[in-house]
Structure 1
Amino acid sequence: MAETRKASRFIVPVAVAGVAAATIGLVPALAASGDPDLPEITAQQLIEKIAASDTQTLSGTFKISTDLGLPLGGLTSALGGIGGGPSSADPSEKLTELVSGSHTLRVAADGPERQKLTLLDGSDEYSLIHNGDDVWAYDSKSNEVFHEKAPAGADAPGAHEVPKGKELPGTPKQLADEVLKAAGDTTSITVDGTAKVAGRDAYQLVIKPKQTGSTVESVKIAVDAANGTPLKFTLSSVEGGKPVVDAGFTKVDFSKPAASDFTFKAPEGAKVTDGAAEKAAGEKGDPFEGQLPGGLEGAFGDFGAGSGEGGMNVIGEGWTAIAKIDSGAPAPKTDEAPKEIQGLLDSLGDKVTGKFGSGTVFKTKIVNALLTDDGKVYVGAVTKDALVDAANSGK
């Protein structure tokens, strides 16, 4: 247990690398020619088409490939299950697998009340079902079931919302909505030809930063020409190589799925864990409790709640926005970490110096984080030089 607690505080530099902020602007442009042959459309018109899309029902298969440039095999080995919950079927545990590699998923949706996602992994399957007031998850490999109840009371606010942390992963539409939800002058948005996605005619929306210093090369969204539903989402890094995220339908049907698709009965002999039991187990002993340096514990508990110690300040805007967090405590010394963690941090980090002093930049293909030796964190979808400049400015 002591070794586990000692290891957990060195996860902070890895954790901060998962936080980024980006603000998008909209610039109309004419469509390029392409195949299939579709009527010309401006970027503004295509964005309006996405916004007007009200797809409530669908079923299909989509593939998601993620390449953050992280040695996630080493990360898994180093963490050794630290912080794992009592149920392997818990979505907050299982769906972290989507942050690396390639995965095939079957999806079905019937309005806001019913959704189902099945993650296929060889002969094993993991299913997550939201049906009214219930959220079920089933892991065939361990034969375990996780069950969560939505808030009681049909008329209560949030009565039919999926409990926090148990949401279904982002579809191409949800990913597109996140990119398009804000406006400004930091972005070029154009329509660049057409494509066939899952047998559907689609326009290609291309989004690029105008600012220098961002790690984002482009975001491409394939939009169904008939109903405005995003069919594919691709996020590419300035580093090149494989896309950071490439998620798209390979088959899709917009008719209403059968009601039976959303029913679930725990298989005989399966271990069933209720969300209330999961919460109680977490309250008994959190291996991370008290292990985060100073204000980082508060910062990650209520990220962005304020400024100053334990809070967050945002430097800059748009694609080059950088979040600054003051932990209020010196950074942990990596040479004190267990060997497995030490090797991971060495592979992720570059030592840097400047007017601010010294620190380490932890790298991914899209989000970078500078952890200074005096405990300040600068993180964003920006280059290493941009982080160092922000730290040197002392803002």
Structure 2
Amino acid sequence: MAPYESDESTTVEEADDLRAGRRKAARYVVPVAVVGVAAATIGLVPAIADSGDPDLPDITAQQLIEKIAKSDVEQLSGTFKITTDLGLPDLGGLESSFASGAMASGSGDGSSADPSAKLTELASGTHTLRLAVDGENKQKLSLLENASEYSLIHNGKDIWGYDSKSNEVYHGTAEEAQEEKGKAEEAPATPQEFTEEALKAVDDTTSVTVDGTAQVAGRDAYRLVVKPKQSGTTVGAITVAVDAETGMPLKFTLTPSSGGAAVIDAGFTQVSFAKPDASTFDFTPPKGAKVTEEGALEGAADQHGSAKSEGEFRKEFEKEFGGPKSEGKAPEGGPEIIGEGWNSVAVFDTGGEGVPSGAEVGGEMGGFLDSLGDKTTGKFGSGTVFKTRLINALMTDDGKVYVGAVDKATLVKAADSGK
């Protein structure tokens, strides 16, 4: 620990000033095609042990937040790890069953190099990635596997995905990806963006302090700690290691209120802010590789009726789970929000029946459903709570869904208040 430790928390006014002046996503973000996927996979944030205790000048929490907001790193290369532990049950033999079903339904005709499918692997376990960035129009992200590598390259107007294991190539354009991204709210995709999203929660329900210093990837950094003041949330604390020189977040760790291992433990193991070699972003499909154009994937989906683009899935989700019209509704047609701060719960109305029980489904699938959910009752009636170590959801038997980073009791309270 450094010889100082600031207990100064940011005020509501300071947080408002920060939000007003916060820049758009830093220009070193990964290709725009990844953004939607990153939201679903908890984002591209990695894991690494801290070392050292550098002696750095004192800094307040507000000053460190401002340093993050002003960070404008345009060139970098490095290696980082992602460890995600949501506490999901082991699917066992169901994985192969689901895969067989997908192939039978025609979704297997898509490309294994499509980032919307490949990067979902980051949702669990530990993964090593390499990142190279040279401004807004050149980025490369590589997922290193045992005997293969998956790369996603953004170079000018082109976006390439390459899966060396299957020798398949995906090709799209930055314009198409940007149009798809524009259909939804901007999602976090890098440690910096994730940090900015976390700092949006800075209000009177949140404590933000500077907790000493650390070394990450050989660089001196300050520790910024964000903690909910409310009970009932599944978030215990968020710790960000902020590069003392550039203000760029080097590590992002989210620990649950239940204790134990981090839900997300992420950080660079090596990083350089030198300009990457231009050849890093060059890509030509290897000889014999199967190349799938972005539009061709949508055509295959139309023929088989199962594999759909991200935009199509979003439209269907909004149609099926559109939030109820009420005064608590979020802007732009979003779901109703119950509660505040870290205890906010989003409410969707499916307009149908709730989840069937394992007994109703039967077999291996029925056992899987029972392992996921806990039956519960309240003033709202009855329903099933589906739990992870971070996000929990209550689906009532009359078809309403309550979702938030909150515990079971808070979900039930929200459902009861909705009656």
Question: TM-score band (shorter)?
Answer: 0.7 to 0.9
Distance 1:140 1:19, change over 3 A: closer
Match of 2:376 in 1: 352
Given that 2:80 and 2:266 are in contact with CA atoms closer than 8 Å, whether structure 1 keeps it comes out as yes
Given that 1:55 and 1:229 are in contact with CA atoms closer than 8 Å, whether structure 2 keeps it comes out as yes
Q: CA shift at 1:138, angstroms?
A: 0.5
Given that 1:19 and 1:379 are in contact with CA atoms closer than 8 Å, whether structure 2 keeps it comes out as no
Q: CA shift at 1:394, angstroms?
A: 2.2
Q: CA shift at 1:164, angstroms?
A: 7.8
3-state DSSP of counterpart to 1:51: helix
Match of 1:119 in 2: 143
Given that 1:234 and 1:243 are in contact with CA atoms closer than 8 Å, whether structure 2 keeps it comes out as yes
Counterparts of 1:104-143 in structure 2, within 5 Å, are 104-143=128-167
Match of 2:270 in 1: 251
Partners of 1:107 and 1:19 in 2: CA distance: 17
Q: CA shift at 1:124, angstroms?
A: 0.8
1:45-73 deviation line (CA, Å, top 9, x unaligned) = 00000001100000000001000000254
Match of 1:97 in 2: 121
Distance 1:356 1:305, change over 3 A: closer
Given that 1:311 and 1:325 are in contact with CA atoms closer than 8 Å, whether structure 2 keeps it comes out as no
1:325-364 deviation line (CA, Å, top 9, x unaligned) = 1111112423343633322221111110111111110000
Counterparts of 1:1-395 in structure 2, within 5 Å, are 35-71=53-89, 73-74=91-92, 76-77=95-96, 79-80=98-99, 82=102, 86-151=110-175, 170-287=189-306, 298-300=316-318, 307=325, 312-334=335-357, 335-337=359-361, 339-394=363-418
Partners of 1:96 and 1:218 in 2: CA distance: 25
1:351-387 deviation line (CA, Å, top 9, x unaligned) = 1011111111000000000011111100100000101
3-state DSSP of counterpart to 1:151: helix
Distance 1:168 1:73, change over 3 A: farther
3-state DSSP of counterpart to 1:96: helix
* Aligned residue identity for 2:231: T
3-state DSSP of counterpart to 2:194: helix
Give TM-score scaled by structure 2 length.
0.77
* Aligned residue identity for 1:107: L
Percent identity, aligned pairs only? 59
Partners of 1:181 and 1:85 in 2: CA distance: 40
Partners of 1:286 and 1:205 in 2: CA distance: 47
Given that 1:42 and 1:191 are in contact with CA atoms closer than 8 Å, whether structure 2 keeps it comes out as yes
Distance 1:385 1:228, change over 3 A: same
Partners of 2:264 and 2:190 in 1: CA distance: 12
Match of 1:293 in 2: none
CA-atom RMSD in angstroms: 2.9
Partners of 1:169 and 1:313 in 2: CA distance: 22
Distance 1:253 1:143, change over 3 A: same
Partners of 2:381 and 2:307 in 1: CA distance: 28
> Which structure 2 residue ranges, 5 or more long, are not aligned?
1-39, 43-51, 309-313
Given that 1:117 and 1:168 are in contact with CA atoms closer than 8 Å, whether structure 2 keeps it comes out as no
Partners of 1:142 and 1:343 in 2: CA distance: 34
Partners of 1:67 and 1:44 in 2: CA distance: 30
Bigger relative contact order (CA 8 A; separation at least 6): 1
1:125-167 deviation line (CA, Å, top 9, x unaligned) = 0000011111100011111110002338xxxx958x98989x9
Distance 1:100 1:300, change over 3 A: farther
3-state DSSP of counterpart to 2:260: coil
Given that 1:299 and 1:312 are in contact with CA atoms closer than 8 Å, whether structure 2 keeps it comes out as no
Q: CA shift at 1:229, angstroms?
A: 0.5
The structure where helix makes up a greater share of residues is 2
3-state DSSP of counterpart to 1:80: helix
Partners of 2:347 and 2:181 in 1: CA distance: 31
Partners of 2:118 and 2:187 in 1: CA distance: 12
Partners of 2:76 and 2:399 in 1: CA distance: 47
Partners of 1:304 and 1:210 in 2: CA distance: 31
Given that 2:41 and 2:123 are in contact with CA atoms closer than 8 Å, whether structure 1 keeps it comes out as no
* Aligned residue identity for 1:51: A
Give TM-score scaled by structure 1 length.
0.82
Given that 2:386 and 2:393 are in contact with CA atoms closer than 8 Å, whether structure 1 keeps it comes out as yes
Matched pairs, number = 353
Partners of 1:299 and 1:139 in 2: CA distance: 29
Q: Pick which of 266-275 and 66-75 moved more.
A: 66-75
* Aligned residue identity for 1:312: P
Q: CA shift at 1:393, angstroms?
A: 1.5
Given that 1:150 and 1:162 are in contact with CA atoms closer than 8 Å, whether structure 2 keeps it comes out as no
Q: CA shift at 1:76, angstroms?
A: 3.2
3-state DSSP of counterpart to 1:365: coil
